[in-house]
Amino acid sequence: QVQLAESGGGSVQAGGSLRVSCVASGNTATNACVAWFRQVPGKEREGVAATYVPGSWKRYVDSVKGRFTISQDVNKNTVYLQMNDLKPEDTAIYYCAAGAPRWREYCYTEQSQYTYWGQGTQVTVSS
C-alpha cells in the first residue's frame, strides 16, 4: 500500500506561481509512475503531468506545456508540480496519483494506470 498526501495549494492571481507537493509513504520501494491530475466540480478529472520515479521521463498535457514542471526528490519521496504563469482556467483541485508503469519507464496521464490517489489540494487562480 502507498499513501499520498498533497500540499501547497492556495490562491494566487493570474500570472502568479504555486508549487504543489505530493509526499508518498508506505511501500515506496518500487519504481512507479506518479502523475498530477486536476478536477473542477461537475467536470471530468484531467491529467496534467506524469513522471517516472526515479527517472527523467516526463509528460505534460498540451495546455500546461511551458508553464508547469513536474519534478521529484527521491530522498524525500516527493513529487512536485511547479506551476508558473497561472491562468483562471487552472483553478481546480489537484490530485497526485501513483501506479505501476505498463512498460519500462513510460508514464502517461491515463487514469486507469494509477492505483493510489491522494486527497487533493485546492488551487484557485483569480483574474
Look at residue 29 and tell me whether its pLDDT is greater than 80. Answer: no
Whole-angstrom distance, CA of residue 3 vs CA of residue 31: 15
pLDDT band for position 28 (cuts 50, 70, 90): confident
pLDDT band for position 22 (cuts 50, 70, 90): very high
| Residue % of the chain over a pLDDT of 70 | 100
pLDDT (0 to 100) of residue 105: 85
Average pLDDT over residues 3-21: 97
As beta bridge partners, residue 116 has: 98
Whole-angstrom distance, CA of residue 115 vs CA of residue 101: 11
**What DSSP designation does 62 have?**
G
Buried b or exposed e, range 52-68, using 16+ CB within 10 angstroms: bbebeeebbbeebeeeb
Dihedral of alpha carbons 46, 94, 77, 56, sign: positive
pLDDT digits 0-9 by tens, 35-89: 999 999 999 999 999 999 999 999 999 999 999 999 999 999 999 999 999 999 9
